[in-house]
């Protein structure tokens, strides 16, 4: 696909600006009625989903050209998908996210990318991860856990930790604790240690499609060789890549992609994990974009042809993973779930996505702060989520701003309720 394949989508945009807002029937207050961090922060039409489509059409028709300034606007967007689902409330056939992705692929083709992304992708090619950390240390988080090595032995479930969890030491206790929970529940678990690579999802979002495909094919072949039937990931970005992007790129996984939240929910419902300790905690749940609307696959599978796509456009954000985390939280004794105003497919992004965390860190922090203020407005003690990118940005932003809210991974809540030591719980 190329930008030209989306000409009809771009011409169909009537500039109603509905993509800038949570749909009217979902709004609960003026304060939290915006849905697009980019237009909210920069306040000029080209920073909205519609504005970027208008720019795309203008480039396509030769009325303007792709240059450094245009590229900067294209990349000052989290690719959170909120504009897409809002537009589809009224205009089912417009595939807004696809246009945003095509614009980025065009930027890479013409060499007009932010320098930060060029550096990150160079590091990705060298070290197989988005953080540029040594690939030999990828499995260090699992030291002394005695997990199976799927490069040498078969396991029923292969755990893909993802780039952020693999190298962010502050997040390791949550992942290590979860592994203990899973094994106590009898799960046959293995990891690929230093052979695990990036899922490729972020590279695709940045417009580097060849690199994304290489990582996807590599991961798919490793999963196949492991004989696993479940590909489990704790990373929402990885989940979206496995569930949505791989079928879109024509990469078939031999194992079913499952997010940790879905798996833990299943184990709790089966009685194999029993939350029992009373936590006495008011908590709000942040829906990560890639676990929710962006993790939704095409229904049916993406066939790679626009004319086909018009008959199977059903990617609306409604079938994201929304119930499982809420059910898990409500299974914890003493936990009161206090919902924010923008939830499920109407959720506000954490700010980290689409490479914004690397190229526009101030914008990322501003976006996170917006979400944290919404969380604080619920009167909750804690914001809980299930994506290491969200957690890192929320922790840093809440700490710097001195906001009265703690940040937890959902697995930490479960661990605490199962009797493990978790700071602050
Ligand atoms: S992208 Fe959709 S919601 Fe936004 S202005 Fe165009 S038609 Fe309206
Ligand atoms: S993907 Fe998110 S940040 Fe980008 S234009 Fe759409 S709503 Fe705004």
Residue with the nearest Cα to atom 3 of ligand 2? 77
d(CA 294, CA 322): 12
User: Over the range 172-210, which residues count as b (16 or more CB within 10 Å of their CB) and which as e?
Assistant: bbbbebbbebbeebebebbbbbbebbbbbbbbbbbbbbe
Distance from Cα 59 to the centre of ligand 1, integer Å: 18
* Residues of the chain above pLDDT 70, percent: 96
Q: Rounded distance, CA 187 to CA 189, Å?
A: 6
Q: Residue 263 has which token pair?
A: 């798996």
- State which of 10, 48, 50, 55 you would mutate to test the pocket of ligand 1, scoring each by most atoms of that ligand within 8 A of its C-beta: 50
pLDDT tens digits for 259-318? 999 999 999 999 999 999 999 999 999 999 999 999 998 765 556 665 555 555 567 898
Bridge-based pairing state of the strands 382-385 and 281-285: parallel
For the entire predicted model, the pTM comes to 0.95
C-alpha gyration radius of the chain: 21
How far, in Å, CA of 414 to CA of 182, rounded? 12
User: Is the minimum distance from the CB of 159 to ligand 2 under 6 angstroms?
Assistant: no
The CA 39 to ligand 2 mean position distance, Å, reads 8
Distances (CA, A) of 294 to 206, 414, 416: 15, 25, 29
Q: Of ligand 1's atoms, which has the minimum distance to the CA of residue 20? A: 4
pLDDT digits (tens, 9 = 90+) for 50-75: 999 999 999 999 999 999 999 999 99
pLDDT tens digits, 168-178: 999 999 999 99
Q: What is the pLDDT of residue 133?
A: 96
CA distance 420 to 253: 34
On average, the pLDDT of the chain sits at 94
Alpha-carbon distance 122 to 206, whole Å?
A: 12
Q: What tens digit of pLDDT does each residue of 378-388 get?
A: 999 999 999 99
Would you mind telling me the total number of residues written for the chain in this entry?
A: 425
pLDDT tens per residue across span 177-206: 999 999 999 999 999 999 999 999 999 999
In this structure, what are the phi and psi dihedrals at residue 159, rounded to the nearest 5 degrees? Answer: -95, 120
Ligand 1 cavity residues, CB under 6 Å: 13-19, 49-50, 53, 87, 91, 94, 96
pLDDT, residue 1, reads: 74
Find the 118 Cα to ligand 1 centroid distance in Å: 31
Question: What's CA 254's distance to the chain center, in Å?
Answer: 22
Q: Which tens digit of pLDDT belongs to each residue from 363-418?
A: 999 999 999 999 999 999 999 999 999 999 999 999 999 999 999 999 999 999 99
Cβ–ligand 2 contact at 80 (below 6 Å):
yes
End-to-end distance of the chain based on CA atoms, in angstroms? Answer: 49
C-alpha to C-alpha distances, 398 to 117, 180, 190, 261, nearest whole angstrom: 26, 29, 34, 24
The Cα 1–Cα 9 span in angstroms is: 13
- The conformation of residue 320, written as its DSSP 8-state character, comes to S
Contact by Cβ (8 Å): 408, 308: no
Cα of 320 from ligand 2 centre, angstroms: 17
Ligand having the closest approach to the CA of 351: 2
Cβ neighbours of residue 326 closer than 8 Å, sequence gap 6 or more: 285, 337
Contacts of 166 by beta carbon, 8 Å cutoff, 6+ apart: 129, 133, 138, 139, 140, 141, 196
Instruction: Return the residue matching tokens 């992004």.
Output: 349
């Amino acid at each position: 696909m190329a930008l030209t394949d989306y000409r009809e989508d771009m011409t169909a945009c009537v500039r109603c600006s509905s993509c800038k807002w949570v749909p009217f029937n979902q709004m609960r207050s003026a304060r939290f009625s915006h849905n697009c961090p980019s237009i909210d922060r920069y306040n000029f039409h080209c920073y909205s989903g519609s504005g970027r489509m208008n720019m795309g059409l203008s480039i396509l028709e030769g009325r303007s050209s792709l240059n450094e300034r245009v590229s900067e606007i294209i990349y000052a967007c989290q690719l959170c998908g909120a504009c897409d689902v809002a537009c589809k409330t009224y205009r089912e056939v417009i595939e807004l996210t696809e246009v945003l992705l095509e614009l980025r692929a065009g930027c890479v083709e013409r060499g007009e990318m932010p320098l930060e992304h060029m550096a990150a992708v160079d590091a990705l090619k060298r070290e197989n991860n988005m953080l540029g950390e040594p690939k030999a240390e990828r499995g260090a988080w699992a030291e002394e856990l005695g997990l199976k090595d799927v490069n040498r032995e078969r396991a029923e479930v292969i755990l893909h930790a993802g780039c952020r969890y693999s190298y962010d030491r502050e997040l390791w206790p949550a992942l290590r604790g979860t592994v203990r929970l899973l094994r106590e529940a009898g799960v046959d678990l293995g990891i690929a240690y230093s052979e695990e690579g990036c899922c490729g999802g972020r590279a695709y979002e940045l417009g580097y499609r060849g690199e994304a495909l290489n990582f996807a094919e590599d991961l798919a072949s490793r999963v196949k060789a492991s004989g696993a039937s479940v590909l489990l990931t704790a990373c929402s970005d990885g989940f979206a890549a496995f569930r949505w992007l791989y079928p879109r790129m024509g990469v078939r996984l031999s194992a079913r992609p499952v997010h940790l939240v879905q798996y833990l929910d299943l184990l709790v419902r089966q009685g194999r994990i029993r939350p029992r300790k009373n936590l006495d905690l008011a908590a709000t749940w942040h829906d990560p974009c890639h676990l929710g609307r962006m993790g939704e696959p095409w229904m049916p599978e993406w066939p790679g042809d626009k004319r086909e796509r018009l008959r199977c456009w059903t990617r609306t954000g409604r079938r994201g993973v929304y119930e499982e985390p809420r059910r898990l939280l409500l299974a914890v004794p003493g936990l009161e779930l206090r919902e924010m105003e923008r939830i499920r497919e109407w959720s506000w992004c954490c700010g980290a996505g689409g490479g914004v965390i690397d190229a526009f860190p101030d914008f990322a922090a501003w976006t996170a702060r917006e979400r944290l203020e919404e969380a604080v407005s619920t009167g909750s003690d804690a914001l809980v989520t299930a994506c290491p990118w969200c957690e890192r940005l929320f922790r840093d932003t809440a700490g710097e701003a001195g906001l009265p809210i703690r940040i937890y991974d959902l697995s930490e809540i479960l661990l605490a309720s199962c009797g493990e030591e978790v700071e602050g719980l």
